[in-house]
Amino acid sequence: MKKGLRFRWEMRGGGALQPEESFEKKSFEQGRRSASFCLLKNGKIPPRPGRRFSGQPVPLGGTADGFSKDKVYFKKQEVIPMAKYVYLFSEGNGKMRELLGGKGANLAEMTGLGMPVPQGFTVTTEACTRYYEDDKKIAPEIEEEIFKYLKTLEEIAGKTFGSVENPLLVSVRSGARASMPGMMDTILNLGLNDEVVVGFAKLTNNERFAYDSYRRFIQMFSDVVMELPKHNFELIIDEMKEKKGVKQDTELDAGDLKEMVKRFKAFYREQKGEEFPQNPRVQLMEAVKAVFRSWDNPRAIYYRRMNDIPSSWGTAVNVQMMVFGNSGEQSGTGVAFSRNPATGEKKLYGEYLLNAQGEDVVAGIRTPLTIDTLKEQMPEIYDQFVEIVAKLEDHYRDMQDMEFTIENRKLFMLQTRNGKRTAAAAIKIAVDLVNEGMIDKKQAVLMIEPKTLDALLHPQFDAAALKKAKPIGTALPASPGAACGKVVFNAEDAVKFAEKGDKVILVRLETSPEDIEGMHVSQGILTVRGGMTSHAAVVARGMGTCCVSGCGDIVIDEEKKVFTLGGREFHEGDFISLDGSTGNIYGEAIPTVDASLSGDFGTIMSWTDEFRKMGVRTNADTPRDARQAKAFGAEGIGLCRTEHMFFDGDRIKAVREMICSKTVEQRKTALAKLLPMQRGDFEELYEALEGSPVTIRFLDPPLHEFVPHTEPEMRDLAGEMGLSYEEVKAIIDGLHEFNPMMGHRGCRLAVSYPEIAEMQTQAVIEAAINTQKKHPDWKVVPEIMIPLVGEIKELQFVKKTVVATADKLIADAGMDMHYKVGTMIEIPRAALTADEIAKDAEFFSFGTNDLTQMTFGFSRDDAGKFLNYYYDNKIYESDPFARLDQTGVGKLVDMACKLGRQTRPDIKLGICGEHGGDPSTIEFCYKTGLTYVSCSPFRVPIARLAAAQASIKYPR
């Protein structure tokens, strides 16, 4: 390939579509590269600002490139200038997030705003993608470009990289398009070596500082680039402190640090069999590569999976001139939020450490000072900072999360970004910003990440129980909410306990990115060290998990799995409770109560309803759930699973009697016992919903779920049924299935035993009649849903029973009552033949749990055995049971909607799988034209918000 010139395929994609523009996405491969583009159905190219190249539409005549003949794609074959892989901060701007990553784009933006930013350059996310395409190698042309820009940076700084006299030192930091806190790795003070450090000490006239910088560099480089864990170096530091009888790193003097550098290097040599790299250019390229590599480390993959970030995005690398917060007591480093990230309060909120560098504050090694103290210590710096904060907030129209460094009483901004916040804070900030006239209601609604509401919707402590409880300790309220669970001492145990169904509290000296999975499954996190911006606190808030941090009173032995607090000893499995809003720690289990919508939360939710165009219902089987969901704004029940009502006391007896029946008559007798109970349940549901629609799904699970499987239980059952043990055993053995997921269940039960559908219809209709009589002003319209239909004739068969039963009851009651009969679409064949099925189904409800299982051909119960291999190998990037697979399952959903509407234009379309509460799925449902989504009661507000956001983003 000719130097400086590249041959490229060029394509268009993304961009804001007009509402009436449907579009299709296509992707192709050329050699190792693959890309996707999108083409409007009207033949137009969607607008996309900021693209550097554009292609001409070329009708593809042949098939040589693997496309069908009637498609058009965009191709640019002429030789075009080589892509630019490196940007100076002064060349970029805040909109170039995709290319420069969030950190890089914001550094460029701040540079543009004239703020004090140490200059540098960004290696683009495209370089990262290219690195992976090129089998994890940095192409020579990119390396060349980096050093070209390094030269420019030297000119800007007036310093020289690798020079002994006036060395340029740089930081190398990752920066992906989306913020991934704690997941990526950073290297500071790069450019130091045995010679440079001597010159640096001379130049700064501060030998202690120079060697402190060098030892930090060795530590970070070894850890991040060479995979020699930091921990090893910490042991050396601890050894030296002990020997000298001091507690703080700052108490070590220049001589100690020189000795430390020596020991670090010796340890490095011993471990790696070679000297610590002395060539700064090698250091730089290795660091860049390490950042690229870190994009694909397991923690990053896990985080992306949790947050739906595609692995194709890649990370940028920021190479920035160092400024030094560790150059003495006139220096420092800190982080701050323009508003309180836990409560949303409009008050500068932050922490800093003097004579410290980089990660010291967030790593939680020393407990930092609050930003207010800075006002006393360096008032002019504080004032300058406050001014910058105001400017940034005004510029970004959002709460900012900033990093700063003070070098010899000079302020530098190292980063700004829209700050992570708790759900409560997000809500307060959004409402405040509207009140302040900074944003409008739509922007406010869009500002809140729906998933985070979860934290507000989870139970809080029961007030009465809390009154009686006495905290055994208190620490920083790092992430709000209440939690109660069994103590575990490491992430692995947390996962193990959680898999058994235990609720756990993770108690750690401090957390680190390795702990992320364990943190995710925990109810709450308690740390001994670290402040409000420590790793534990930031990550917990992001997850909406309760966290209390920095509890220095705790004496912990993680190895022995024991800690003491308030004079008591706690072992693995003991219960404790945490209050993330007060910081209180309780040495007991405290019961919790439900949350409610009020105040700013209520305000935001009322705004969502102004914009929302899709209904939100709930999946509820009990009046309690139904009332909770109603309180959360559910507009009806989208799925009532009748079988959940079959397990209580007398009911399960009747159910088992039905199962053991040998004749239709016996079965009817048993069903007659269930009838009044079911009718009562439905009446309660209608009452709870106050006339809103209730979709009742008929019996779905295989019958073996209702019978006992151990000998003593079977003997008991035999006694109750007046049968011999052998008879009962034969019946139960006969119910065994090889693949119960695909067995005798759903409408197949009603086909075999129409009397079950008859009884359930009777219960539904009688309950509706009774409710209607009691509340003449309500309009009760029962919706009967037949599950697991795969063929129109199945539905027709069951519907016949339903209609015959219902019509007679309604006629007998002399009522004018309407009811609907619809079906779940949860079998691929139902989606494929939805035009047929819509002839008899008045509504579809997508059962995306089963539809996902069958479309993927794997059972959720068994997938655990192999899904981790899939995540590890990046075959799946998200859990298809949490986030609807739009490519495959979504295609079936879309097809079913189109076919269904073709037959019955006014068909009601809903979703009642667990995906119904997932924001990305909700957006998909809105785009696909669903009438409503249905989700668990606690996800109703999330669904309302997500649905509103979809309506705003894609106006119809």
Residues annotated catalytic, as ranges: 535, 912
Angle ∠(913,915,918) on CA atoms, nearest 5: 150
Binding mask 893-932 for a second copy (x = CB under 8 A): --------xxxxx---------------------------
Radius of gyration for the chain, computed over Cα atoms and rounded to the nearest angstrom: 32
Closer of 107 and 792 to a second copy (Cβ)? 792
Q: How far is the CB of 861 from a second copy (least distance, A)?
A: 4
Least separation in angstroms between CB 846 and a second copy: 14
Does 752 contact a second copy by CB under 8 A? yes
Query: Using CA atoms, how far apart are residues 64 and 46, in angstroms rounded to an integer?
Result: 26
Give the burial class of 205: count Cβ atoms within 10 A of its Cβ; 0-12 exposed, 13-18 middle, 19 or more buried. exposed
Per DSSP, which regions of 386-440 are E strands? 400-407, 410-418
Give the angle subtended at the CA of 178 by the CAs of 151 and 339, to the nearest 5°.
Answer: 100
Residue 70 or 274: the one with the smaller Cβ distance to a second copy is 70
Instruction: Out of 673, 829, 883, 953, point to the residue binding a second copy (CB under 8 A).
Output: 829
Asked whether position 84 contacts a second copy by CB under 8 A, the answer is: no
739 contributes a contact to a second copy by CB under 8 A = yes
The packing angle between helices 207-224 and 254-272, to 10°, is 20
The residues in 62-81 that bind a second copy, with binding defined as CB under 8 A, are: 63, 66-68
Please select the residue that binds a second copy; options are 705, 876, 927, 954, rule is CB under 8 A: 876
**Of 700, 843, 851, 702, nearest to 784 (Cα)?**
843
Residue 763 and residue 676: Cα distance in Å, rounded? 7
Cβ atoms of residues 703 and 647 within 8 Å: no
Instruction: Tell whether residue 56 is a contact of a second copy (CB under 8 A).
Output: no
Alpha carbons 38 and 54: distance in angstroms, whole number? 13
Our CB check for a second copy shows the closer of 112 and 701 to be 701
Give least dist CB 300 to a second copy, A: 18
Verify binding: residue 870, a second copy, rule CB under 8 A: yes
Supply the DSSP string of 348-377, one letter for each residue. -EEEEEET--TTHHHHTSSPPEEHHHHHHH
Which one of residues 244, 647, 866, 955 is an interface residue with a second copy (CB under 8 A)?
866
Q: Are 778 and 690 in contact (CB under 8 A)?
A: yes
Shortest reach from residue 768's CB to a second copy, in Å? 27
- Sign for the CA dihedral angle at 225, 231, 237, 240 comes to negative
Q: What is the DSSP letter of 740?
A: G
Q: Provide the b/e sequence for 402-412 (b: ≥16 CB within 10 Å).
A: bbbbbbeeebb
User: Among 921, 923, 920, 928, which Cα is nearest to 901's?
Assistant: 928
How many other C-beta atoms are found inside a 10 Å radius of the C-beta of residue 656?
Answer: 22
Q: Is 701 a binder of a second copy (CB under 8 A)?
A: no
Does the footprint of a second copy cover residue 602 (CB under 8 A)? no
Of 352 and 881, the one with the shorter C-beta distance to a second copy is 881
Q: Does 33 bind a second copy (CB under 8 A)?
A: no
Closest Cα to residue 892, out of 858, 860, 844?
A: 844
Piece of 16-24, 219-227, 499-507, 857-865 that binds a second copy (CB under 8 A): 857-865
Q: Is 744 in the site for a second copy (CB under 8 A)?
A: yes
Q: Should residue 403 be labelled a site residue for a second copy when binding is judged by CB under 8 A?
A: no
Output DSSP code: residue 385: H
Q: Which two tokens stand for residue 318?
A: 């920021």
CB 498 to a second copy: min, Å: 19
Give least dist CB 715 to a second copy, A.
24
Site string for a second copy, 768-807 (x = CB under 8 A): --------------------x-xx-xx--x----------
Tokens for 571? 């072992």
Q: How far is the CB of 345 from a second copy (least distance, A)?
A: 46
Give whichever of 112 and 740 is closer to a second copy, judged by the CB atom: 740
Binding status of residue 386 toward a second copy by CB under 8 A = no
Told to check if 861 binds a second copy by CB under 8 A, we report: yes
Question: Where are the alpha helices (H) located in 421-547, listed in sequence order?
Answer: 423-435, 441-447, 454-457, 463-468, 491-499, 516-521, 535-543
Sole window of 135-143, 330-338, 639-647, 822-830 interacting with a second copy (rule: CB under 8 A): 822-830
Shortest distance (Å) from residue 265 CB to a second copy? 36
Q: Is 889 in the site for a second copy (CB under 8 A)?
A: yes
**Cα(314)–Cα(319) distance, integer angstroms:** 16
Task: Note whether 544 binds a second copy by CB under 8 A.
Answer: no
Closest approach of a second copy to the CB of residue 302, in Å: 17
Nearest to 549, CA basis, from 801, 357, 364, 812: 364
Residue 53 binds to a second copy (criterion: CB under 8 A): no
Q: Candidates 189-197, 597-605, 814-822, 825-833 — which segment interacts with a second copy by CB under 8 A?
A: 825-833
Nearer to a second copy, 329 or 906 (CB): 906
Q: Smallest Cα–Cα separation from 174: which of 187, 164, 159, 184?
A: 184
Q: Considering only CA atoms, which of 819, 801, 612 is closest in space to residue 695? A: 819
What gap in Å lies between CA 402 and CA 302, rounded to an integer?
25
**Minimal distance, residue 865 CB to a second copy, in Å:** 5
Between strands 160-161 and 476-479, the pairing is: unpaired
Least separation in angstroms between residue 641's CB and a second copy is 18
If one asks whether residue 869 binds a second copy (CB under 8 A), the answer comes out as yes
Residue 857, interface with a second copy (CB under 8 A)? yes
CB 117 within 8 A of CB 413: yes
Half-sphere exposure of 129 (CA within 13 A, CB side): 20
Q: Closest approach of Cβ 67 to a second copy, in Å?
A: 7
Are the CB atoms for 901 and 920 separated by under 8 Å?
no
Taking CB under 8 A as the criterion, the residue among 35, 113, 832, 882 binding a second copy is: 832
> Is residue 647 involved in binding a second copy (CB under 8 A)?
no
Q: Which helix (H) or strand (E) holds 711?
A: helix 711-721
- Does position 109 interact with a second copy (CB under 8 A)? The reply is no
Task: Evaluate whether 341 touches 349 at the Cβ level (below 8 Å).
Answer: yes
Judged by beta carbon, residue 141 or residue 836, the one nearer a second copy is 836
The nearer residue to a second copy, 88 or 735, going by C-beta atoms, is 735
826 in contact with a second copy (CB under 8 A): yes
Site residues for a second copy, 418-447, by CB under 8 A, read: none
Q: Contact residues for a second copy (CB under 8 A)?
A: 27, 29, 63, 66-68, 737-744, 748, 751-752, 788, 790-791, 793-794, 797, 826-829, 832-833, 836, 839, 850, 853-859, 861-863, 865-866, 869-870, 873-876, 885, 887-889, 891-892, 901-905
